[in-house]
Amino acid sequence: MDIKSMTLEELKTAVAEEGEKPFRAAQLYDWMHRKLAEDYGQMTNLPAAFRKKLMEKYPLTALKQVDMQQSGIDGTRKFLFALSDGNLVESVWMKYRHGNSVCISSQVGCKMGCRFCASTLDGWERNLLPSEMLDQIYSITRATGERVSNVVVMGTGEPLDNYDNLLRFIRLLTDENGLHISQRNVTVSTCGLVPQIRRLADEHLAITLALSLHAATDEKRRELMPVAFSWQLDELMEACAYYFEQTGRRMTFEYALVGGVNDTIEDAQKLTALAKPLSAHINLIPVNPIKERDYRQSGRSQIEAFKNKLEKNGINVTIRREMGRDIDGACGQLRRRHIPHISEERCGLTE
Ligand code: SAH
């Protein structure tokens, strides 16, 4: 296993195998996860011979910044990183009044095939390691010189399709010996993998789970999201109820409003019926049209009417604010521009 993905306990075992004292593990962990060292050379309080051994046995994962764009409107920064194997991932840094938020990718590409999403157009390449998810946050912290307080796993990839690595990532990110980000400040967004939602419920974490719902009937959901052929809405809602029951955490339902597809008052009514029993918060996203598909955004008045209907029904609802409009702010766009055979597209970068 790569050393930056090890828990402190696992690191202690690894260090003991090298014949070193246990306190070396704590030092090493501190360098990697708190001081955010990029290489062993920086770890000056470790014996040189030990560092050399580590370098040979456990090469440190590190990201190389390939590009960065900054918004002149709201200061949002979009980073493109190369992984050790040359694959590219995108992460976004957003400044809010309540702190800095980073949106990270969980996979290289995606296999879920949501019809409106640009991240899935070229399929799935591989899962990210826990350390590669952490590295996105660590690199951005170093680059901005500012603490990250919120993390959203909403970039490219389906996090629950990379379950074990995601869980390990969350535990390391929120560990008191690392960046110690509060679990309450971590959001994981899923397209709705039912068995994994149930499994996640059983972990009893205090994170927020966001479900990309996008439609309130099976028929409409299947049009937008192939994953809806695997599980029906009633099974999905049962899993969400189980999640709420087990964790006490209200879920967020994300709903991309697509003109003429899912934006009628009747849709709002059906959505209410799904959200109400779960006390779910609804986040409305005006869909970001991509060139390969002819989906379009709902009109302003349609969006307002949809929101008003939900509010009247007693649902807690927000319209997602778009950040970094003037940069390639949307998911997958910067990455796609750097891969020659792929054209520029907009996905849905938002709050
Ligand atoms: N796979 C996870 C997380 C990545 S997608 C998921 O499905 O939730 C992050 C969010 O952006 C999801 O809600 C997704 O449905 C939404 N999204 C993707 N493409 C979009 C687009 N073109 N317009 C608006 N939202 C989009």
> Residue 1: its pLDDT value, please?
85
- The answer to whether 223 and 260 are in contact (CB under 8 A) is no
Atom of ligand 1 nearest to the CA of 290: 22
The structure tokens 């029951």 sit at: 245
DSSP output for 218-271: HHHHHHH-GGGGTS-HHHHHHHHHHHHHHH-PPPEEEEEEBTTTS-SHHHHHHH
> Residue 333: its pLDDT value, please?
62
Q: Which amino acid is at 183?
A: Q
Which residue of 212, 282, 345 sits with most ligand 1 atoms within 8 Å of its CB, as the best mutation to test the pocket?
212
CA angle 232, 200, 185 (to 5 degrees): 115
Residue whose CA lies nearest to ligand 1 atom number 9: 154
SS3 26: helix
> Residue 224: its pLDDT value, please?
97
Residue whose CA lies nearest to ligand 1 atom number 14: 212
> Residue 114: its pLDDT value, please?
96
> Residue 293: its pLDDT value, please?
85
Tens digits of residue pLDDT in 211-252: 999 999 999 999 999 999 999 999 999 999 999 999 999 999
**In terms of DSSP H, where are the helices of 145-224?**
163-173, 194-201, 218-224
Measuring CA to CA, which residue among 212, 233, 235 is closest to residue 348?
212
**Catalytically annotated residues:** 90, 331
- CA-CA distance, 52 to 42, in Å (whole number)? 12
Residue whose CA lies nearest to ligand 1 atom number 26: 348
Measuring CA to CA, which residue among 91, 93, 95 is closest to residue 82?
91
Residue whose CA lies nearest to ligand 1 atom number 13: 212
Fill in the DSSP letter of residue 49: H
> Residue 328: its pLDDT value, please?
63
Burial of 301 (0-12, 13-18, 19+ CB in 10 A): exposed
CA of 117 to the centre of ligand 1 (A): 6
Measuring CA to CA, which residue among 186, 226, 174, 228 is closest to residue 210?
186
- CA-CA distance, 327 to 343, in Å (whole number)? 16
- The stretches in the chain having pLDDT less than 50 are 329, 341-351
- CA-CA distance, 76 to 259, in Å (whole number)? 27
DSSP output for 279-290: T-EEEEEE----
> Residue 62: its pLDDT value, please?
87
Which residue of 90, 110, 116, 236 sits with most ligand 1 atoms within 8 Å of its CB, as the best mutation to test the pocket?
116
Fill in the DSSP letter of residue 63: -
| Structure tokens that stand for 315 in this block | 């649902």
**In terms of DSSP H, where are the helices of 46-86?**
48-57
- CA-CA distance, 309 to 297, in Å (whole number)? 18
- The answer to whether 208 and 184 are in contact (CB under 8 A) is yes
Q: Which amino acid is at 350?
A: T
* Ligand 1-lining residues (CB < 6 angstroms): 112, 114, 116-117, 154, 158, 189-191, 212, 254, 256, 285, 287-288, 290, 347-348
- What's the sign of the alpha-carbon dihedral 301, 306, 307, 308? positive
Atom of ligand 1 nearest to the CA of 161: 1
- CA-CA distance, 9 to 99, in Å (whole number)? 31
Atom of ligand 1 nearest to the CA of 289: 22
